[in-house]
Amino acid sequence: MQLYNTETRRKETFAPLHSQEATMYCCGPTVYNYAHIGNMRTYIFEDLLARTLRLSLPLKHVMNVTDVGHLVSDGDEGEDKMEVATARENKSAWEIAKFYEQKFFEDFDALNCTRPTVISRATAHIPEMIALVKTLEEKGYTYRTSDGIYYDTSKFDRYDALVGRSRLEGLKGGARVEMSEEKKNPTDFALWKFSPKDKKRQMEWDSPWGVGFPGWHVECSAMAMKYLGPTLDIHCGGIDHVSVHHTNEIAQSEAATGQRYVRFWVHGEFLVLRAGKMSKSGGTFVTLQTLRDKGYDPLDYRYLCLTAHYRTQLEFTYESLDSARKSLQILRREAAKALEAAGRQPAAFTTALEEAKKLFRTAMEDDLNAPKALAVVWENMRGAALNPAEKVDFLRFADTILALDLFRAPEEEKTEELPAEVCQLLQQRAAARAAKDYKKSDELRAALAAAGYRVKDTPQGQQTEKIK
């Protein structure tokens, strides 16, 4: 399989470090609010990757749930997002975490994303995080300020691994603006934050440095290495995590173990709105529930995501969602037709079937080219290369990756519902024409036009068209 690696900035051939199984860690949700469909685009791309990898080898997939420590600002300033939510909703931080985690997995499941092998909550791994910070302290990478234990990024040579030297300088410039006086370098970040002296936090723990809570970055490093060892094959996330979160994960993990942390960094591009960025904290977000309320099925959205490569931005519009929905319906009808036809004749498999499967798989294994894989599906469903039984077999195979429930019964093709008054006029007109009362028929035609409908007489009967 070819995968684009953010660190080397090129596609590389993927092979796991240990031949028996590949390992993958994906940054999970911060459970202080509903996930928006932008977040879900990232989980869909990660699911496509997991499903494609599993065509050739077992995969251990770990995803965390951030239920503490993700601060409002990436610069270690501001409040914990969980504590902000407690003020907003008048519930405990633990209740908030439980509620939004459950909501998250309802969406995750509805989008047919495969549950990870391990789902790890940050609050259940505090000892592992403390142990990691201790190791960093012993190795001389940390310093203390009045509000926490910080990582000294100037001591780590590969700090520019993901962003490159020149971009790092720009980031430092940006971070300097908000930098607290106690930080040694603008890019330094908190490993452990102390609880405020004047306020009791709901989520806090004892540590060798004082009561407090872990930094968001250290959570992912500690959990990823606990379950997958010091070197992971693949680490995924959205593109926004490259410059701070993942850069800091590399710094902590590699300084602690002395080994390469991640072999392949794989990042998904954003879903954007015409108005700009979709953000949870900004309140401008569309959730899967918003789409359900408007009558869409979650898999309509999954189809839409498959129409764009994961490394290109996707602009969300309801027009594109409509067209995704339509395409999925047509594909399900094609599947139903093939299934029906296959039942009427004995199955005969030819090399064309293997060829079609190979083309599909090659597209997915070429850095997850889902749009190309979908095109292969359409060509084979519409074309004559495959017989009905082969179409069924091919589609079943494709659906192990696409996960669009292609064999779900398709919805009936909807004809537009006519107002009751128009139906009545049409019935009267049909009766008049049957009685050869053409004068009455013409009067009724005029009445229909007044009601906004043009009527045409065809061999199949009367057909209406809305007058624009």
Is the separation of the CB atoms in 280 and 251 below 8 Å?
no
Q: Is 41 in the site for ligand AMP (CB under 6 A)?
A: yes
Partner touching 214 among ligand AMP, Zn ion, none, CB below 5 to 8 Å by kind = none
Q: Is 422 in the site for Zn ion (CB under 5 A)?
A: no
| Residue among 66, 69, 71 at smallest CA distance from 180 | 71
Q: 458's torsion region: left (phi>0), alpha (psi -120 to 50) or beta?
A: beta
Q: Is 314 in the site for Zn ion (CB under 5 A)?
A: no
Question: CA 53 to CA 20: how far, in whole Å?
Answer: 13
Q: Is 63 in the site for ligand AMP (CB under 6 A)?
A: no
Helix (H) or strand (E) holding 25: strand 22-26
- Residues 193-222, interacting with Zn ion (CB under 5 A): 220
Q: Which stretch binds Zn ion (CB under 5 A): 21-29, 139-147, 175-183, 203-211?
A: 21-29
Q: How far is the CB of 62 from Zn ion (least distance, A)?
A: 11
Q: Is 42 in the site for ligand AMP (CB under 6 A)?
A: yes
Looking from the CA of 172 toward its CB, the CA atoms found within 13 Å total 17
Partner touching 252 among ligand AMP, Zn ion, none, CB below 5 to 8 Å by kind = none
Partner touching 163 among Zn ion, ligand AMP, none, CB below 5 to 8 Å by kind = none
Q: In what order do the strands lie in the sheet containing 148-151?
A: 142-144, 148-151, 189-194, 212-214
60, 155, 241, 445: which one binds ligand AMP (CB under 6 A):
241
Question: What is the DSSP-derived secondary structure letter of residue 286?
Answer: -
Partner touching 51 among Zn ion, ligand AMP, none, CB below 5 to 8 Å by kind = none
> What angle is formed at CA 252 by the lines to CA 249 and CA 255, rounded to 5 degrees?
135
Q: How far is the CB of 239 from ligand AMP (least distance, A)?
A: 7
Provide the mask over 218-247, with x wherever binding to Zn ion is found by CB under 5 A and - wherever it is not. Answer: --x---------------------------
Q: Is 214 in the site for ligand AMP (CB under 6 A)?
A: no
Judged by DSSP in three states, 35 sits in coil
Question: CA 163 to CA 243: how far, in whole Å?
Answer: 6
143, 205, 270, 397: which one binds ligand AMP (CB under 6 A):
270
Is the separation of the CB atoms in 272 and 172 below 8 Å?
no
Q: 436's torsion region: left (phi>0), alpha (psi -120 to 50) or beta?
A: left
62, 271, 288, 370: which one binds ligand AMP (CB under 6 A):
271
Residue that the structure tokens 């259940």 belong to = 124
Q: Is 27 in the site for Zn ion (CB under 5 A)?
A: yes
* Cross-strand bridge partners of residue 151: 142, 189
Q: Which stretch binds ligand AMP (CB under 6 A): 22-30, 178-186, 192-200, 403-411?
A: 22-30
Q: Which stretch binds ligand AMP (CB under 6 A): 10-18, 187-195, 233-241, 249-257?
A: 233-241
Q: Is 64 in the site for ligand AMP (CB under 6 A)?
A: no
Task: Give 189 or 316: the residue with its C-beta nearer to Zn ion.
Answer: 189
Is the separation of the CB atoms in 292 and 273 below 8 Å?
no
Looking from the CA of 12 toward its CB, the CA atoms found within 13 Å total 15
Task: Give 39 or 153: the residue with its C-beta nearer to ligand AMP.
Answer: 39
Amino acid at site 265: W
Is the separation of the CB atoms in 192 and 219 below 8 Å?
no
Question: CA 3 to CA 365: how far, in whole Å?
Answer: 8
> How many residues bind ligand AMP, per CB under 6 A?
15
Q: Is 215 in the site for ligand AMP (CB under 6 A)?
A: no
Q: Show Cβ contacts of residue 189 under 8 Å, excluding neighbours closer than 6 positions.
A: 76, 150, 151, 153, 215, 217, 244, 248
- Nearest to ligand AMP by Cβ — which residue? 238
Is the separation of the CB atoms in 150 and 209 below 8 Å?
no
Task: Give 49 or 331: the residue with its C-beta nearer to ligand AMP.
Answer: 49
Q: Is 29 in the site for ligand AMP (CB under 6 A)?
A: yes
Task: Give 236 or 335: the residue with its C-beta nearer to ligand AMP.
Answer: 236
74, 128, 233, 240: which one binds ligand AMP (CB under 6 A):
240
If one counts every other C-beta atom within 10 angstroms of the C-beta of residue 435, the result is 10
CA distances for 64 relative to 124, 153, 169, 220, angstroms: 10, 25, 30, 7
Partner touching 220 among Zn ion, ligand AMP, none, CB below 5 to 8 Å by kind = Zn ion
Q: How far is the CB of 245 from Zn ion (least distance, A)?
A: 5
Report the interface residues with ligand AMP, using CB under 6 A.
27, 29-30, 38-39, 41-42, 237-238, 240-241, 270-271, 278, 280
Report the interface residues with Zn ion, using CB under 5 A.
27, 220
